Structure 1
Amino acid sequence: MSLLIRSAAREDAPAMSRVLIASITELCHADHQDDPDRIAEWTANKTPDGILSMLARDGFFMVVAELDGQVVAVGATTADGEIALNYVAPEARFRGVSKALLNHMETDLRSRGFVEGRLRATNTAKAFYRAQGWSADASPDGGTACFAMHKRLAD
């Protein structure tokens, strides 16, 4: 198993779109309850064109994880110190990819001077983040029942 985490590039957009849509559709049942309208709303900006728009945004830093040369996870951090995306392809789940990607993004935030990271976790991901040392801040908000979470990154 060869895992590489790197900055996302424009040519990754189709693979990133596939990963994001598959992850949301196949792994986030606890959040969308297989409701086609909720899935459509959540994935609307996850098309290749939507990914290209994300890549072009100032202060939005996208990364991908490649497993044996294939993009299997997508992450993003913001200029405000937030982890905005952390999605893994269903076929790569439970192989350490999400942990490695999260660690990479936490290291990136630390290197940019953030002492605390923030994110909004879905029901599906909340236990994963807790296991990685993140703490929940508040009650769910929004249509996907996201939980605000934080983690101290530096002393």
Structure 2
Amino acid sequence: MSTRIEIRKALPDDAPAACTLLRRSIEECRQDDHRNHPEVLGPWLGNKTPATVAAWFSTPSNFALVAESEGQLVGMALLTQAGKVALCYVLPEALRCGVGRALLSALEDQARAWNIAKLHLNSPAGATAFFERHGYLNAGKEKSCFGLDCDLMWKRLDETCATEQGAARKRFCNCSG
């Protein structure tokens, strides 16, 4: 894969290629998570259709991005206005090339533009380390809507706000320490 990656807003016309990317990423990169169990893999892939992906891209309250390299989609991500990183997927051959990091950074920039102070997501166990490397905290296990045990991850984007909240908590704490 080329090292030149372009991140851009996803368009409904990107949906077929994005759908293929999503399905390949789940099937090939998340095997340790789904272990090819049809009761997990089937529901996980169930809504990954071109029509559904196009609808996600067209929803005004979503911010969807794709990553391209040499004209091929190599990654895609989606942020909701509720502060949820709903999707962040990369083609198997594009892993560890900076695609996921670039997509996640762009989503965080958009969240700041929307004045969202904290992001959250459900991460399959195999992807948790990626999000932890990028400052996300693990709040424990949670079942995804398709039945997979996931890690509930979150990240505060507004460090000033977090520092002020911490100072306020300390200032009004009744403890003796």
Corresponding residue of 1:40: 42
| CA-CA distance at 1:53 after TM superposition | 2.2
Report the more deviating stretch, 75-84 or 29-38.
29-38
CA contact (8 A) 2:12 2:58 kept: no
CA contact (8 A) 2:19 2:49 kept: yes
TM-score (norm 2): 0.83
Deviations 1:94-143 (A, max 9, x none): 11100111111111101111121111111111011111111011223231
User: How far apart in 2 are the matches of 1:116 and 1:71?
Assistant: 28
Q: How does 1:113-152 map to 2 (within 5 A)?
A: 113-142=115-144, 143-152=147-156
The one-letter amino acid paired with 2:69 is L
Corresponding residue of 1:90: 92
User: How far apart in 1 are the matches of 2:148 and 2:60?
Assistant: 25
The one-letter amino acid paired with 1:111 is A
Return 5+ residue gaps in structure 2 as ranges. Answer: 161-177
Corresponding residue of 1:53: 55
Whichever of the two has the greater Rg, that structure is 2
Q: How does 1:71-110 map to 2 (within 5 A)?
A: 71-110=73-112
How much identity, in percent, do the aligned residues show?
Answer: 34
Moved over 3 A (4+): none
Return 5+ residue gaps in structure 1 as ranges. Answer: none
User: How far apart in 1 are the matches of 2:56 and 2:106?
Assistant: 19
Greater relative contact order: 1 or 2 (C-alpha under 8 angstroms, separation 6 or more)?
Answer: 1
> Are residues 1:153 and 2:157 paired?
yes
Aligned pairs, how many?
155
